[in-house]
Amino acid sequence: MEKIRVTVWNEFRHEREEGHKSGKVYPEGLHKVIAEFLSKDEGIAARTATLDEPLHGLSDEVLDNTDVLMWWGHGYHDEVSDEIVKKIQDRILKGMGLIVLHSGHYSKIFRTMMGTSCLLRWRDGDRERVWCCKPSHPIADGIPEYFEIPEEEMYGEFFDIPEPDDLIFMGWFKGGEVFRSGCTFHRGHGKIFYFQPGHEEYPVYYIPEVQKVINNAVHWVNPQHRLDGELFAPNPEALEK
Amino acid sequence: MEKIRVTVWNEFRHEREEGHKSGKVYPEGLHKVIAEFLSKDEGIAARTATLDEPLHGLSDEVLDNTDVLMWWGHGYHDEVSDEIVKKIQDRILKGMGLIVLHSGHYSKIFRTMMGTSCLLRWRDGDRERVWCCKPSHPIADGIPEYFEIPEEEMYGEFFDIPEPDDLIFMGWFKGGEVFRSGCTFHRGHGKIFYFQPGHEEYPVYYIPEVQKVINNAVHWVNPQHRLDGELFAPNPEALEK
Amino acid sequence: MEKIRVTVWNEFRHEREEGHKSGKVYPEGLHKVIAEFLSKDEGIAARTATLDEPLHGLSDEVLDNTDVLMWWGHGYHDEVSDEIVKKIQDRILKGMGLIVLHSGHYSKIFRTMMGTSCLLRWRDGDRERVWCCKPSHPIADGIPEYFEIPEEEMYGEFFDIPEPDDLIFMGWFKGGEVFRSGCTFHRGHGKIFYFQPGHEEYPVYYIPEVQKVINNAVHWVNPQHRLDGELFAPNPEALEK
Amino acid sequence: MEKIRVTVWNEFRHEREEGHKSGKVYPEGLHKVIAEFLSKDEGIAARTATLDEPLHGLSDEVLDNTDVLMWWGHGYHDEVSDEIVKKIQDRILKGMGLIVLHSGHYSKIFRTMMGTSCLLRWRDGDRERVWCCKPSHPIADGIPEYFEIPEEEMYGEFFDIPEPDDLIFMGWFKGGEVFRSGCTFHRGHGKIFYFQPGHEEYPVYYIPEVQKVINNAVHWVNPQHRLDGELFAPNPEALEK
């Protein structure tokens, strides 16, 4: 079996900012932690890419050899090149899987794929309990009825996204809010999973259930096929005369 | 304009049980309170029906003259006649609207329409905040981003229902749970709305936002047409030769 | 009751092109025909706008006073200003309804709202039969089980759109193809309806069932409320301490 | 890897009826043909069961050792025991996969799971072209944009089912109708796939694309987990004090 080629993309600025809490939690960047736990899965080959690499680490060659792109961004969405966003959209529509994490909700690529503002309610420093409301979905495989995130940024409704194709997880926040925390979307030949947990200041990506969900999601968004060439509108002869 | 003919069905046992808290909250039964606030809408003509009336108050004549049936039941689901459930299902598939309230989630008619167990997690005595996650839906018309129910029974996920066609409200409970609190389903020529608030021991149906949601839902499930005669499978000649 | 303010937007080039068949079918432009039949509905106030007007006829003032925007475009999608597309998207997310007709599937605004390529299979000169597969939906009100379009351009699957929230109509084409011909989407506070019939060379918008569907759709996408001001991400205090 | 245990259930009456065309097409019954092609997949262990076996071949022991139940029935739906239908429903809600083929649309188990009449339009002797409208779905893996069924019974809209969770295939019929031919549904912890092709008088289950779809569907509905014991409504202490 060929391995699923995952590219974990991280903005990777906060972790390097003087005195930013995230540098303590993820000294080498959260992408490294994610790539590492994914690599324990023999079916996955994970690499990383970051904003400040040339082409954000997302050359055509990298994109063409990526089955699943994972996206974490937060404070510098605007610095992502429009041209690269367009290329990513094109790959997704041809089959590449996309997993968007936490504050990636406001990334250019997610907003482009959704067509909506992707705005939400937020507040730092809360506690979350993630409930599963679609236990038959492969992304929920091995996940209990709920799991806890001791410290997390609150993300609350109204979350301006299209109605998800599958609503798998719902988040409960101690401060009084709820959120659609795990959502799937089919777009073109590709699949997308949005997963809310993962504020950079707390060690969320070390939590086993969070890792399990992300691992499951890689398998779920992994395409069974990818289109080559340009997308186009066929203009065939009539099949029936 | 013809009025929407609503039949508010209530089990109406708890309110009459010696010492049951609900008798204090709804001395004449919660159906009366619901029918009353609906009657303030000039477009609605509401009547009531209860379990202990002959045919549970749901004769063929009543059903044939009901545009929207509202259902509240709790402790005596099993006493509802299978034959009448079948007749209700038939009417819904031909267009009649159905609104199921709170513990009606486990009624025969709701379970028949859903095809699932409709089981859920529950606990008496909690506080709820109801969030709107589909503000463009007519049932959410005039409802703020959230509203509160000071005392409510907790209903929590996993709620075993089919994926709703519209998820309009999500419930947050102080005790730590979340719930899909306002859900629509299209079935045949009919529409169904499930709304979670309304434990009989608390004055939930006096809350303005709860009344507004139910009032909106009556208009939304009200059929634009209803089929006559038996449902059948047409066996026509080919349209094209 | 206030009237629904509809702006019927048309590219309005083909009808004016020397020798183009559409000029015979719609001498004053298809937008005029649509606005005219809508105006028979006392609840609707229809006006028109076209590509070659200043700002394409879509000034801020027009957009702010439009409840429902209807869009027909075909050969000159690229000439629509990106800035105006952005303004339309913003209005939709705040509540304005959008109805996209036929070749508008490839307009900038529809592709922006969908996030996909919106490509499809096509062939000129076919016959269509439109089947209703969601008779309980208000847009299907008064529409028979199927209706015919004697001459229509074939639009066939795969149609690269997000899974619709409601699939109301399915198109059958004599040449051998099928299509999701009537689809709804909820986006932000707004509603969108895509309706496939309406090739400019055939008198499709004179067909009573087509007119009825479009008329129904105006009522369905008409917002119950519209947001003012900028869309933003609230950052409130905790509701529970 | 453990094999997926599939039980292919067939009414198996038509094939044994004097002079019935299906006996020529499927001399040993269509379940045998299906079980045979599935058995070429090393990940699948297929067995069969039929109406006239004791308990219809569906003892508790068989059901408890079935990961995926496939259902073909047509003329004798009423002879299926209500008690066994109830047991199947219970297993599906706990995780067992269900694949319903062709005229199984009117089986007791499918109607129970759907909650609707499952009626449709029909006519013997037509030609079908099956179009894929969700190419990103695993059930569409390896299936071309469309495939043909030279002879098939026409099944047409309106098909009275709940809105599918995924609409994967749409059927075009030469006689002028369309149909939602491949549909998924999540129910409880289980998954359901309905697939329209397979009239018993024509050699439909020998067509490679039909076999591929059914094979894919077995993998898709195969549960990642199954619940033991009785389904129940948990009544826990508050998680938050």
Q: Residue C39: phi, psi to the nearest 5?
A: -70, -15
Angle at the Cα of C192 from the Cα atoms of C189 and C197, rounded to 5 degrees: 170
C153 within some domain: no
User: Nearest Cβ partner of B133 from A131, A158, A172?
Assistant: A158
Q: How confident is the model at residue B105 (pLDDT cuts 50, 70, 90)?
A: very high
Q: Is B176 helix (H, G, I), strand (E, B) or coil?
A: coil
Domain tally, chain C: 1
Q: Would you write out chain C's pLDDT as a tens digit for each of its 241 residues? A: 799 999 999 999 999 999 999 999 999 999 999 999 999 999 999 999 999 999 999 999 999 999 999 999 999 999 999 999 999 999 999 999 999 999 999 999 999 999 999 999 999 999 999 999 999 999 999 999 999 999 999 999 999 999 999 999 999 999 999 999 999 999 999 999 999 999 999 999 999 999 999 999 999 999 999 999 999 999 999 999 8
- Taking CA–CA distances from B140, the nearest residue in chain C reads C224
Encode pLDDT of A61-70 as tens digits: 999 999 999 9
Give the separation between CA C169 and CA C171, rounded to whole angstroms. 7
Is 90 exceeded by the pLDDT of residue A38? Answer: yes
Taking the CA atoms of residue A147, residue A200, residue A180 and residue A214 in that order, the dihedral angle to the nearest 10 degrees is -60
Establish if A95 belongs to a structural domain. yes
The verdict on residue D83 lying in a domain is yes
Q: Are A57 and A32 in contact (CB under 8 A)?
A: no
Supply the DSSP string of chain D, one letter for each residue. -PPEEEEEEE---GGGSTT-HHHHH-TT-HHHHHHHHHHTSTTEEEEEEETTSGGGG--HHHHHT-SEEEEE--S-GGGS-HHHHHHHHHHHHTT-EEEEEGGGGGSHHHHHHH-S----EEEEEEEEEEEES-TTSGGGTT--SEEEEEEEEEEESPP--PPPSEEEEEEEETTS-EEEEEEEEEETTEEEEEE----TTTTGGGSHHHHHHHHHHHHHHS-S----S------PPPS--
Per this entry, what is the length of chain D?
241
Using DSSP, state whether B172 is helix, strand or coil. Answer: strand
pLDDT at res. D215 = 98
C93 and A114: CB-CB below 8 Å? no
In a domain, B83, yes or no: yes
Q: Go through chain B and tell me how many residues it has.
A: 241
- pLDDT higher than threshold 80 for residue A129: yes
Among A136, A187, A212, which would you mutate to test the D interface (most chain D Cβ atoms within 10 Å of its Cβ)? A136
Domain range enclosing C85: 4-116+181-221
The predicted pLDDT at position D121 comes to 98
Chains that touch B (3 or more CB pairs under 8 A): A, C, D
pLDDT tens, residue by residue, D17-45: 999 999 999 999 999 999 999 999 999 99
- The Cα D221–Cα D5 span in angstroms is 12
Write down the pLDDT at residue A1.
Answer: 72
Q: Which CATH number do you get for residue D19?
A: 3.40.50.880
Choose from C98, C127, C136 for mutation: most chain B CBs within 10 A.
C136
Instruction: Using an 8 Å CB-CB cutoff, list chain B residues near D89.
Output: 115
CA distance A216 to A211: 9
CB of A79 less than 8 A from some CB of B: no
Count of CB atoms within 10 A of residue B61's CB?
A: 9
Residue A8 lies in a domain: yes
The average pLDDT across A150-177 equals: 98
Report which residue type is found at A105.
Answer: H
Domain membership of residue B158 (yes or no) is no
**Burial of B240 by CB count in 10 Å (0-12 exposed, 13-18 middle, 19+ buried)?**
middle
Instruction: Give C179 to chain A, closest Cα distance, Å.
Output: 14
Residue B71: strand pairing partners: B9, B100
Alpha carbons C197 and C181: distance in angstroms, whole number = 7
Statement: residue D100 has pLDDT above 80: yes
Answer yes or no: do B180 and A132 touch at CB < 8 A: no
Total H helices, total E strands in chain A: 6, 9
Sorted by sequence, the CB contacts under 8 Å of residue D211 that are 6+ apart come out as: D37, D205
Question: Å from D237 to nearest chain B CA?
Answer: 7
Q: What is the pTM of this model?
A: 0.98
Q: Would you call C160 and A117 a contact, using CB atoms and an 8 Å cutoff?
A: no
Distances (CA, A) of A92 to A20, A66, C160, D3: 33, 10, 12, 32
* Mean pLDDT confidence for A90-109: 98
Determine the Cα–Cα distance for residues C173 and C126; give it in Å rounded to an integer: 7
pLDDT band at B1 (very low <50, low <70, confident <90, very high): confident
Q: Please indicate, yes or no, if residue D125 is contained in any of the structural domains.
A: no
Q: Which of D82, D90, D119, D159 to mutate to test the interface with B (most CBs of B within 10 A)?
A: D119
Is there a contact between B224 and C142 if contact means CB atoms under 8 Å apart?
yes
Helical axes A30-39 vs A208-221, angle rounded to 10°: 70
Q: Tell me, rounded to whole angstroms, the distance of Cα D114 from its chain centroid.
A: 13
Measured between CB atoms, does D23 come within 8 Å of chain A? no
For residue B208, pLDDT over 90 is answered with yes
Region B61-75 average pLDDT: 98
A172 to chain B: closest CA residue: B178
Q: Which of the 8 DSSP states describes residue A22?
A: H
Q: Is the peptide bond before A158 cis (omega within 30 degrees of 0)?
A: yes
Predicted pLDDT at C241: 80
- Among A158, A166, A172, whose Cβ lies nearest the Cβ of B178? A172
Hunting for tokens 């083929």 — which residue is that? D101
- The share of chain B scoring above pLDDT 70, in percent, equals 100
* Residue (of C170, C166, C171) closest to C220 by Cα position: C166
Helices and strands in chain B, H and E counts:
6, 9
Burial class (CB in 10 A: 0-12, 13-18, 19+), A60: exposed
Q: Work out the angle at residue B158's Cα, subtended by the Cα atoms of residues B157 and B162, and round it to the nearest 5 degrees.
A: 115
Cα distance between residue D138 and residue D136, in whole Å? 7
Does the pLDDT at position A146 exceed 80?
A: yes
Tell me the pLDDT band of A216, cut-offs 50, 70 and 90: very high
Mean pLDDT of the region A200-209 = 98
Residues 129 through 168 of chain D touching chain C, CB cutoff 8 Å = 129, 131-135, 145, 156-159, 163, 166-167
Q: Is C154 part of a structural domain of the chain?
A: no
Before B158, cis peptide (omega within 30)?
Answer: yes
Q: How many CB pairs under 8 A join A and B?
A: 58
Per-residue pLDDT, A158: 98
- Which residues in chain C touch residue A235, judged by CB atoms under 8 angstroms apart? 121-123
Is B182 a residue whose pLDDT tops 80?
Answer: yes
Confidence band of D1 (pLDDT split at 50, 70, 90): confident
ipTM score assigned to the predicted complex = 0.97
Please, what is the average pLDDT of chain B? 97
Q: Exposed, middle or buried: residue A241 (CB in 10 Å: 0-12, 13-18, 19+)?
A: exposed
Q: Give one DSSP letter per residue of C209-231, joined into a string.
A: HHHHHHHHHHHHHS-S----S--
Q: What are φ and ψ of residue C106, in 5° steps?
A: -105, 15
Which positions 81-100 of A are in contact with C (Cβ < 8 Å)? Answer: 89, 93
pLDDT at B117 exceeding the cut of 90: yes
